[in-house]
């Protein structure tokens, strides 16, 4: 019985000792934890800096335009533009002059350059200087061509003095359109003559250093669009090797016709945006092209020489845009002295930090630059990227410390 009693006393002593130890251990953590903060806790403060750097990034949207053409050399281009961007919100990379009108993108390019890069952002994008067309609301001259306009409608086109076209008119479902408004704008590299009538509109685009003119009609819905060209004197026509000959009454279905005058060795090609029913009235000097569509267009290209000279204009040019993608990076504005961004936003007031982001040609320093020798400091290096509005990116060094 005595042995059993001693064993019971021993168990009670062990329980009491364990309880005292656990109480002591609990008070140890309660009182000593603030003085022995683990490095993991200090390191976690670095994520605040990381988050602020990430939040300061911006995006530049990029897309590519593909040009499908057998033509060579720098030529004016007119592509349907599928994005809701304005002229000051994007640019070509490398830079080149361009203009947006009635949902069309106008620019100069050689098809061999395809694809071309476009960069879009929330910053203002300016265009480079360069080619300037001689144009007013009454006429323009370029590369031997002169076109006269009345209320933004072409009334005469000549090429090195030879009269090619004496007027262009349009019928929509056999009805003529009376202009409500007309406007002219000179964008240096191109000039635009625009007319609207109700929900319909027309556009002429002329280009510096080119005799070519782009003509477009928006019918405001699916209609029969008839483009009537009043012609000067011509002696022959060419559509293909089977359809050609003396200037006479013809009916054809084609996207192209070339008219030529032997006496002046001058001609003009008409390249339509799609297949058209073409009627040539030789006596009346009228060429009509009918297309059933919401829109119709034509490239009007004066030339010297017979049809072999403008052969590269016998086929049209097609365009396609890639699906836009976003690039992310630090904006150059972050490094401006006027920047209001704080990389320590949300950082605890009892803690300190230091950040140095160094990029080619610029850097930013934020926070405290020194700490006491006995302070536990967590330091780390990382990589970030500076993103310019043209989509160009540069690698940057990020040095950060928290304590």
Q: What is the pLDDT of residues 218-270, one digit of tens each?
A: 999 999 999 999 999 999 999 988 999 999 999 999 999 999 999 999 999 99
Mean pLDDT of the chain: 89
For the segment 81-86, the average pLDDT, to the nearest whole number, is: 97
Torsion sign, CA atoms 229, 177, 156, 194: negative
Q: DSSP characters for 314-370? A: SS--EEEEPPPEEEEEB-GGGGSTT----TTTT--TT--EEEEEEETTEEEEEE-S-
pLDDT at 82: 98
9, pLDDT greater than 90: no
**pLDDT tens-place string over residues 366-376:** 998 776 665 78
Among the residue ranges 151-160, 184-193, 257-266, 336-345, the one predicted with the least confidence is 336-345
225: nearest Cα among 283, 163, 273, 164:
273
Q: Which residue has the tokens 């780390």?
A: 380
Q: Confirm if 382 and 400 have CB atoms less than 8 A apart.
A: yes
Q: Using only C-alpha atoms, what is the Rg of the chain?
A: 37
Among 3-17, 63-77, 306-320, 358-372, top mean pLDDT goes to 63-77
Strands 116-120 and 134-135: unpaired
Domain ranges of the chain: 1-36, 39-57+330-402, 60-326
What pTM, to 2 d.p., does this model score? 0.84
How far is the C-alpha of 219 from the C-alpha of 231, rounded, in Å? 24
Burial 10-26 (b: 16+ CB within 10 A, else e): eeeeeeeeeeeeeeeee
For the segment 294-310, the average pLDDT, to the nearest whole number, is: 86
pLDDT at 368: 83
Q: Could you tell me the fold of the domain covering 60-326?
A: Beta-galactosidase; Chain A, domain 5 (2.70.98)
For the segment 162-183, the average pLDDT, to the nearest whole number, is: 95
For residue 5, what pLDDT band results from cuts at 50, 70 and 90? Answer: very low
pLDDT at 308: 66
Residue 49 φ then ψ, to 5°? -65, -45
For residue 305, what pLDDT band results from cuts at 50, 70 and 90? Answer: confident
How far is the C-alpha of 391 from the C-alpha of 32, rounded, in Å? 52
pLDDT at 369: 74
pLDDT at 274: 95
How far is the C-alpha of 201 from the C-alpha of 218, rounded, in Å? 5
For the segment 166-172, the average pLDDT, to the nearest whole number, is: 97
Report the percentage of the chain scoring pLDDT > 70. Answer: 87
């Amino acid at each position: 019985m005595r042995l059993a009693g001693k064993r019971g006393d021993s168990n009670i002593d062990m329980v009491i000792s364990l309880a005292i130890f656990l109480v002591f251990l609990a008070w140890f953590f309660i009182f000593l934890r603030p003085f022995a903060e683990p490095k993991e806790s200090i390191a976690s403060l670095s994520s605040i800096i990381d988050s602020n750097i990430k939040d300061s990034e911006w995006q530049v949207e990029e897309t590519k335009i593909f040009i499908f053409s057998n033509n060579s050399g720098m030529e004016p281009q007119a592509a349907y533009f599928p994005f809701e961007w304005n002229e000051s919100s994007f640019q070509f990379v490398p830079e080149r002059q361009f203009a947006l009108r009635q949902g069309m993108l106008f620019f100069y390019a050689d098809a061999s350059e395809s694809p071309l890069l476009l960069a879009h952002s929330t910053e203002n994008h300016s265009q480079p200087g360069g080619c300037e067309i001689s144009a007013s609301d009454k006429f323009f001259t370029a590369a031997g061509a002169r076109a006269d306009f009345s209320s933004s409608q072409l009334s005469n086109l000549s090429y090195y003095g030879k009269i090619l076209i004496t007027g262009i008119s349009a019928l929509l479902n056999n009805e003529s359109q009376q202009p409500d408004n007309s406007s002219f704008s000179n964008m240096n590299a191109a000039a635009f003559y625009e007319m609207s009538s109700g929900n319909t509109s027309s556009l002429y685009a002329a280009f510096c250093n080119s005799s070519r003119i782009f003509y477009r009609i928006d019918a405001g819905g699916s209609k029969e669009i008839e483009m009537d060209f009043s012609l000067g004197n011509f002696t022959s026509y060419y559509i293909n090797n089977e359809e050609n000959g003396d200037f006479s009454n013809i009916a054809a279905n084609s996207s192209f016709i070339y008219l030529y005058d032997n006496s002046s060795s001058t001609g003009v090609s008409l390249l339509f945006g799609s297949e058209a029913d073409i009627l040539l009235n030789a006596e009346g000097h009228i060429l009509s092209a009918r297309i059933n569509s919401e829109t119709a267009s034509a490239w009007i290209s004066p030339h010297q020489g017979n049809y072999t000279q403008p052969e590269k204009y016998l086929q049209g040019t097609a365009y396609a845009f890639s699906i836009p993608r976003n690039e992310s990076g630090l904006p150059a504005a972050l490094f401006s002295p006027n920047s209001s961004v704080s990389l320590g936003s949300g950082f605890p007031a009892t803690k300190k930090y230091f950040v140095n982001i160094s990029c080619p040609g610029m850097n930013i320093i934020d926070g405290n630059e020194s700490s006491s020798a006995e302070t536990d400091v967590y330091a780390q290096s990382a990589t970030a990227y500076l993103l310019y509005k043209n989509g160009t990116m540069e690698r940057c060094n990020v040095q950060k410390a928290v304590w």
